[in-house]
Amino acid sequence: MKFHDRVSVTIADHVAHVLLDRADKMNALDDAMFDGIIAAGSHLHQAKGVRTVVLSGAGRSFCAGLDLSSMGRTDRWEGGSLVDRTHGNANRAQYAAMVWRNLPMPVIAAVHGVCFGGGLQVASGADIRFIAPDARLAVMEVKWGLVPDMAGYALWRGNVRDDVLRELSYTHREFSGEEAVGFGFATHVDADPLGRAMALAQEIAGKSPTAVRGAKLLSNRTAHMDEDQILMAESKVQHELMYSRNQVEAVKAGMEKRAADFIDP
């Protein structure tokens, strides 16, 4: 399935593979790419039977960031004023990253080649990121007289150390995949990030989808809660899962040493 001739989605064995598919432009973000990313994410939000998502880029790179030919035409690619909240609490460009964080199922990004600016922020919307050791990354926006504004500050909070983010933002210097793990931009470094991402996605897809979704819901929400709210949030999610069909099946399958037969939400 193709979205706006920029993003393709294939689904097999409960895993959706989302491919940024503008290889001739290193998957740079133009108007159609923004629309394609959001359309693909919105489609998966409603898709039945999808338990995990893998996000990757076609060709030599994950995403080179903003297509510079789009600059000066912000009324087109941005879809209106930057301060307009067109997608919940975000504008359209921010939602191209937040759509992955907002999906109910886990998203795993596989990053190779170049991952600059907005591309880094799109990848940061994933729950987990595998990255090639020789990948080239940068918080690029200051180079063009701008600041990161595609939800990066929201998504990097808690992962990337504050002083490191300040340095990389102020200087827009490139850093490698190896460095990205140490800085907190990536989860694991691997020479085959897509292979590792797909393997992990298949592993997660074999777990109870309702429990996994509950865990992602807590991960998304509790960062903004105080202690009392976190304790209550845990209890509410657990109350819904306890003795549910999938929870009982998980226990039975584990005790009987067989593959579980889960139902999807």
Tell which wins on pLDDT, 80 or 149.
149
Per-residue confidence (pLDDT) for residue 69, from 0 to 100:
80
The span from the CA of 86 to the CA of 139, in Å, is 25
Per-residue confidence (pLDDT) for residue 75, from 0 to 100:
44
Q: Let me know: does 197 contact 52? Beta carbons within 8 Å.
A: no
**pLDDT category, 239, cuts 50, 70, 90?**
very high
Residues pairing with 20 in the sheet: 7, 57
Q: What is the mean pLDDT of residues 200-218?
A: 98
SS3 percent helix, strand, coil of the chain, rounded to 5, is: 45, 15, 35
Summarised one tens digit per residue, pLDDT across range 128-167 is 999 999 999 999 999 999 999 999 999 999 999 999 999 9
Among 21, 45, 30, which Cα is nearest to 102's? 45
Q: How far apart are the first and last CA of the chain?
A: 22
Is the model's pLDDT at 78 over the cut of 80? no
Is the model's pLDDT at 59 over the cut of 60? yes
pTM score, two decimals? 0.95
DSSP-derived secondary structure for 75-130: HHHS-S-TT---BTTB-HHHHHHHHHHHSSS-EEEEE-SEEETHHHHHHHTSSEEE
DSSP label of 63: B
Per-residue confidence (pLDDT) for residue 172, from 0 to 100:
96
DSSP label of 143: G
Pairing of strands 7-12, 15-20: antiparallel
Summarised one tens digit per residue, pLDDT across range 93-113 is 999 999 999 999 999 999 999
**pLDDT category, 72, cuts 50, 70, 90?**
low
Is the model's pLDDT at 79 over the cut of 70? no
Q: Let me know: does 20 contact 8? Beta carbons within 8 Å.
A: no
Q: Which residues contact 145 (CB under 8 A, 6 or more apart)?
A: none
Summarised one tens digit per residue, pLDDT across range 112-121 is 999 999 999 9
Summarised one tens digit per residue, pLDDT across range 1-43 is 999 999 999 999 999 999 999 999 999 999 999 999 999 999 9
| Domains within the chain, CATH numbers bracketed | 2-205 (3.90.226.10), 209-256 (1.10.12.10)
- What type of residue sits at position 225? M
Q: What is the mean pLDDT of residues 60-68?
A: 95
DSSP-derived secondary structure for 213-250: HHHHHHHHHHTT--HHHHHHHHHHHHHHHTT-HHHHHH
